[in-house]
Amino acid sequence: MSLRDGEKLEIRFRAPSGRTADLTWGQQRMAQLMADLQPNNASLNLKFAHRIKPGLKADEVASAIRGMVEACESARTLFEPDAPSAQQRVTTEGVLHVAVITAVTATFTSALESAAELAGTPFGADDLPVRVGILTDRSGPAFVLLAINHLASDYLGAHWMTWHLRHVLQADVSDGEPSAIHPVDVSHWESSEAGRREGARALLRHERSLARMPQSMLPRLPVEPLHPRYRYVVMQTSAGAWCLSHLAKRHGVSETAVGHAALSLVLAHVSGLSRAHLQVCVSNRAGRDTAAVVGCLTQDVPTCVAIDDADFDALLRRSAGAIHHATLTGRFPHRGLMEVRERVEKRRGFPLDLSYWLNSRLFVPLPAEAPNAARIREEAARTSVRWLGGDQCSTSTLFCYLDRRDDILEVLMLVDTAYVAPAEAEQWLRAFESILVTAVLRPELSADALVAETGVVSFRATDDWVKIDHSWIHLPTTAARLHAALPGMTLRLAVETPGGEASLVAMVASPRSGRETSAPSDTVVVEALRGCRVGMRPHRFVSRAGDVQD
């Protein structure tokens, strides 16, 4: 078989299993995110480029691709997320069209660019969830290119999908093998009594986290965003990689926990908060039965840690506990989490801004021998920070990825420029590295001292701001939202501190001064504040005679 540029190979597949099921809980979360980003959700598609062993023929590569599709139900599942039931259907036979792309010399960079083109458009309801390409040059097939619908697989699931290509790929592939469990099996288990019990337990834990966290990790008013609004900035640091691994070994915690602590410390300091929350992407693969599933099991788990003392060791332990519990909590119904969140928001009186994320892919730690101080400083001077192009679409204020490229720690951050200025984002990345490096070189320093060394300025409140329930509330914004939602009510906001705890009181114009007045529905007020990260429902509505308007 010879390959020509622009050709479409037709790979016919046939498999015995054709099944249907509802979306798994992980797929439900991804379907919701895709719906939120419509019509520009192609940025969620996964993309990979894998080098092919030299000397292989095109038909050998095509045979391996056929074997992958036939073995992985996820690679031949059609999705209809809006259907009332059976939103995924596994096909038994069909044709996979493989794009052939020719280059004079195929490089990894050009392969990644070609994979990005494959992944550049959304998958339709009638499309197989995997697009495959072969990049060739004068020596023959050079790279297999994959674009994967995120409903079909997450990052780790894609690793096990490409396991089926191991005989034609140059890179070493895990000695293990994919699970015989597929997403349809996962969906059936989740609807079982055992699945419902695990989901209910997980939701109870998440409710406790949601009840503790600040309303927002960046309590600030939006500004006119740049275009494009959402932008990626990446830091590559070998000094950070060494220090992160060394801190993990020194304190007996995971590298992800160290990254979680450093990012939490930066965000809490920036916003003048004593607690920090992050949504952590959890793969849900701790169990033996799910470790190697080819599918989308990843869910977002809310975590919250206290940063109210000067002990960096304590912060590391708290982050380690948060990551440990997040990893072992187990799967949970996505809709159930939305209901829990609404219940907590109604109880606390404000909508939660859950748009701060950590996705750590630090799976294999570096050798963690104590690094030399002079070498650390030398390598830190080589750290690079650069902005990436592309018109990004997102629902996040800040999304942080932790990856390793050989001995380099790569910290990739997506920021919403309506809330984060580019110069701030660069400073926060440098602060992240500084905390890791300084914690290794000067272990006697407290958490406060570590973050002070970074030069990042902390939020300073004015008369318009008040801290209530571990959150910063902006009084003028809250008043404006309440006036718009309650047009028949004239009111003014005041802050009281009975017992030292601040509470928000609405003074309502009434001829009967000094009495409690009937408060509007909690649901009405919280919904009026939806989309506002610095507003709160008053704890009490009290009547006052005369003019009380701001």
Same domain, 149 and 236: no
pLDDT of residue 511 exceeding 70, the answer is no
What does 472-538 look like in DSSP terms, one character per residue?
Answer: EEEHHHHHHHHHHH-TT--EEEEEE-GGG--EEEEEEE-SSTTSB-PPPPHHHHHHHTTT-SS----
Is the alpha carbon torsion for 367, 371, 375, 379 positive or negative? Answer: positive
Contact 24, 183 (CB under 8 A): yes
Same domain, 103 and 205: no
Which residues on adjacent β-strands are paired with residue 78? Answer: 89
Same domain, 285 and 305: yes
How far apart are the C-alpha atoms of 234 and 422, rounded to whole Å?
12
Q: Is residue 187 part of a domain?
A: no
Half-sphere exposure of 394 (CA within 13 A, CB side): 23
Taking alpha carbons only, the member of 44, 68, 74 closest to residue 150 is 44
Q: Is residue 457 part of a domain?
A: no
pLDDT at 149: 98
pLDDT at 2: 56
Taking alpha carbons only, the member of 522, 209, 475 closest to residue 347 is 522
Query: What's the mean pLDDT in 319-337?
Result: 94
pLDDT of residue 393 exceeding 70, the answer is yes
Same domain, 15 and 121: yes
In SS3 terms, 40-109 reads as CCHHHCEEEEEEECCCCCHHHHHHHHHHHHHHCHHHHEEECCCCCCCCEEECCEEEEEEEEEECCCCCHH
Token pair of 117 as six digits: 């083109």
pLDDT at 518: 65
Q: Is residue 459 part of a domain?
A: no
Same domain, 277 and 402: yes
pLDDT at 550: 54
Number of structural domains found in the chain: 3
pLDDT band at 491 (very low <50, low <70, confident <90, very high): confident
**pTM of the complete model:** 0.93
pLDDT at 549: 56
Same domain, 288 and 359: yes
pLDDT band at 364 (very low <50, low <70, confident <90, very high): confident
Give the number of other Cβ atoms within 10 Å of residue 325's Cβ: 14
pLDDT at 17: 76
Query: What's the mean pLDDT in 140-168?
Result: 96
| Angle, CA of 269, 300 and 478, to the nearest 5° | 55
CATH number at residue 259: 3.30.559.30
Q: At residue 445, what are phi and psi to the nearest 5 degrees?
A: -75, 145
pLDDT of residue 548 exceeding 70, the answer is no
- b/e 156-167 (16+ beta carbons within 10 angstroms → b): bbbbbbbbbbee
Last residue of a domain, one of 389, 421, 452: 452
Q: Is residue 225 part of a domain?
A: yes
pLDDT band at 369 (very low <50, low <70, confident <90, very high): low
Token pair of 3 as six digits: 């390959």
Q: Quick one: what percent of the chain has pLDDT higher than 90?
A: 81
pLDDT of residue 502 exceeding 60, the answer is yes
**Category of 393 on φ-ψ map: left (φ > 0), alpha (ψ -120 to 50) or beta:** beta
pLDDT band at 8 (very low <50, low <70, confident <90, very high): confident
Q: Is residue 2 part of a domain?
A: no
How far apart are the C-alpha atoms of 349 and 469, rounded to whole Å?
10
| Angle, CA of 120, 159 and 293, to the nearest 5° | 110
Over residues 202-223, the pLDDT tens digits come to: 999 999 999 999 999 999 999 9
Token pair of 539 as six digits: 């704890």
pLDDT of residue 389 exceeding 90, the answer is no
Over residues 82-93, the pLDDT tens digits come to: 999 999 999 999
Cis peptide before 129 (omega within 30 of 0): no
Q: Is residue 364 part of a domain?
A: yes
Same domain, 370 and 418: yes
Instruction: Please list the alpha-helical segments (H only) found in 213-282.
Output: 238-251, 255-271
Same domain, 368 and 490: no
pLDDT band at 247 (very low <50, low <70, confident <90, very high): very high
pLDDT of residue 331 exceeding 60, the answer is yes
pLDDT at 486: 85
Half-sphere exposure of 87 (CA within 13 A, CB side): 18
Last residue of a domain, one of 181, 207, 228: 181
Same domain, 177 and 273: no
Give Cα separations from 239 to 409, 448, 494 (angstroms).
8, 21, 49
Query: What's the mean pLDDT in 19-46?
Result: 95
pLDDT at 312: 93
pLDDT at 366: 72
Q: Is residue 324 part of a domain?
A: yes
- The H or E element spanning position 395 is none
| Block residue for tokens 């992050």 | 278
pLDDT at 516: 59
Is the alpha carbon torsion for 329, 334, 339, 345 positive or negative? Answer: positive
Same domain, 389 and 536: no
Same domain, 386 and 472: no
Q: Is residue 3 part of a domain?
A: no
Contact 88, 30 (CB under 8 A): no
How far apart are the C-alpha atoms of 409 and 384, rounded to whole Å?
11
How far apart are the C-alpha atoms of 299 and 425, rounded to whole Å?
26
Beta-strand relationship, 130-137 and 93-102: parallel
Q: SS3 for 383?
A: coil
Q: What domain range includes position 511?
A: 465-544
Query: What's the mean pLDDT in 33-38?
Result: 94
Token pair of 216 as six digits: 């927002």
Cβ burial, residue 131 (10 Å; 0-12/13-18/19+): buried
Query: What's the mean pLDDT in 106-127?
Result: 95
CATH number at residue 151: 3.30.559.10
Beta-carbon contacts of residue 519 (< 8 Å; ≥ 6 apart) = 525, 538, 540, 541
How far apart are the C-alpha atoms of 22 and 183, rounded to whole Å?
9
pLDDT band at 121 (very low <50, low <70, confident <90, very high): very high
Last residue of a domain, one of 124, 150, 181: 181
- The H or E element spanning position 539 is none
Same domain, 266 and 347: yes
